[in-house]
Amino acid sequence: ETGVTQSPTHLIKTRGQQVTLRCSSQSGHNTVSWYQQALGQGPQFIFQYYREEENGRGNFPPRFSGLQFPNYSSELNVNALELDDSALYLCASSLGTSGRFDEQYFGPGTRLTVT
């Protein structure tokens, strides 16, 4: 059973650029959530995808968008990068039992630095 993997591990971008982060869910999981963890803070929920549809969103602007693919891998896209977007981005996958909370398995994260 493979765990949750994320790529790249580290990334440096310039303000105004766009970035795509990738996540490969744990085998058999059809739900993925993305979190942003700023330095010294806890993870903050960005959004969740269930069977390729976004089904919940946190307090993040529309320039944060996502995709989930038929194989349940996913992407987080951030447009018009700002300095405050510098953070660790975590994805978490779960079984996705409808209407019920499932244990989430987190990947190691992608460290994004915006200069």
Binding footprint of other proteins on the chain (CB under 8 A): 4, 31, 33, 35, 40-45, 47-48, 50, 55-58, 90, 92, 94, 98-109
Nearer of residues 14 and 99 to other proteins, judged by Cβ: 99
Nearer of residues 19 and 89 to other proteins, judged by Cβ: 89
Q: Are the C-beta atoms of 72 and 32 separated by less than 8 Å?
A: yes
Q: Could you check whether the bond before residue 8 is cis, i.e. omega within 30 degrees of 0? A: yes
Pairing of strands 74-78, 19-24: antiparallel
Nearer of residues 86 and 93 to other proteins, judged by Cβ: 93
In one letter, which amino acid is 26?
Q
